[in-house]
Amino acid sequence: MQNKIPIFGICLGHQLIALANNATTYKLKFGHRGGNHPVQHLQNGKVEITSQNHSYTVDPSSINESVLEVTHVNLIDNTIEGLRAKDGLTLSIQYHPESAPGPNDSEYLFDMFISNMRKQKGEDNA
Active site residue 54: no
DSSP state of 4: S
Task: Give φ, ψ of 76 to 5 degrees.
Answer: -85, -45
Among residues 11, 14, 48, 81, the one annotated as catalytic is: 11
Residue 4 buriedness (CB in 10 A; 0-12 / 13-18 / 19+): exposed
The residues with which 93 forms a beta bridge, in sequence order, are 10, 82
Among residues 37, 69, 98, 123, the one annotated as catalytic is: 98
Among residues 54, 65, 96, 123, the one annotated as catalytic is: 96
Active site residue 65: no
Active site residue 98: yes
Strands (E), 1-126: 7-10, 25-41, 47-58, 68-74, 80-85, 90-93
Active-site residues, by number, are 11, 96, 98
